[in-house]
């Protein structure tokens, strides 16, 4: 049986995830009912900032092959009805535009050490590496525990009540837009140096 959050818990979840690698997956899961694979498979060309639409048509999953975890990218969704086009709401539009700019700045800061393999994907880290499915699965419960929140599965964000709740409270989330974090550039430079090997 699904376990899901009420309105206050959803808004608290948005607050505690702000600025983390889980922020966009949580917003996509709660607001749009996206599966983990759909969230991580979201590409920039699936987001139309002119028509204000977001299309779910690509997925990223992982599997174990010969004892190694490998990524599986696919231009298909779980079911035919899962391939869908949804409205890009204002607060999400602003959040994604800010993220796009942030990624462009990270690429500039990192230079040649920036990973080019995942340039078309929305969910990459500071050095351009794709956020992996197991990261979301393992980090989501850790975030909840660290912030004293009731445990639910990431998949439970897709529950119809949660999606309804996030739509009702979307106006309250207008201030939940990307902000410049004072140490963002320092963190990115540090990540680039680590990727270079010091």
Q: What is the pLDDT of residues 27-57, one digit of tens each?
A: 999 888 899 999 999 999 999 999 999 999 8
Question: Tokens in use for 59?
Answer: 């997925």
Q: Is 55 exposed, middle or buried (0-12, 13-18, 19+ CB in 10 A)?
A: middle
96 neighbors 31 (Cβ within 8 angstroms) = no
Distances from the Cα of 118 to the Cα of 47, 99, 107, angstroms: 16, 15, 12
> What is the average pLDDT value for the chain, to the nearest integer?
81
Question: Tokens in use for 41?
Answer: 């498979």
What is the model's pLDDT at position 185?
Answer: 46
Q: What is the pLDDT of residues 165-186, one digit of tens each?
A: 555 445 444 433 333 333 444 5
Report the alpha-carbon distance of residue 61 to residue 12 in Å, rounded.
28
Q: What is the average pLDDT across 66-94?
A: 77
What is the model's pLDDT at position 165?
Answer: 56
| Cβ atoms within 10 Å, residue 46 | 17
pLDDT at residue 143 tops 90: yes
Report the alpha-carbon distance of residue 65 to residue 69 in Å, rounded.
6
């Amino acid at each position: 049986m699904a376990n899901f959050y009420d309105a206050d818990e959803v808004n608290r979840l948005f607050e505690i995830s702000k600025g983390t690698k889980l922020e966009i997956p949580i917003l996509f899961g709660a607001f749009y009912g996206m599966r983990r694979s759909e969230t991580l498979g979201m590409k920039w060309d699936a987001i139309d900032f002119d028509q204000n639409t977001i299309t779910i048509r690509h997925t990223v999953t992982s599997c174990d092959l010969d004892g190694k975890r490998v990524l599986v990218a696919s231009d298909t969704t779980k079911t035919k009805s899962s391939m869908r086009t949804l409205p890009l709401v204002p607060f999400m539009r602003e959040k994604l535009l800010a993220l796009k700019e942030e990624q462009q700045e990270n690429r500039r800061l990192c230079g040649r050490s920036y990973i080019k393999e995942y340039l078309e994907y929305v969910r990459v880290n500071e050095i351009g590496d794709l956020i992996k499915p197991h990261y979301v699965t393992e980090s989501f419960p850790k975030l909840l525990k660290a912030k004293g929140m009731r445990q639910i599965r990431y998949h439970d964000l897709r529950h119809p009540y949660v999606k309804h709740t996030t739509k009702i409270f979307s106006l309250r989330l207008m201030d939940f837009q990307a902000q410049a974090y004072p140490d963002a550039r320092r963190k990115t430079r540090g990540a680039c140096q680590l990727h270079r090997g010091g």
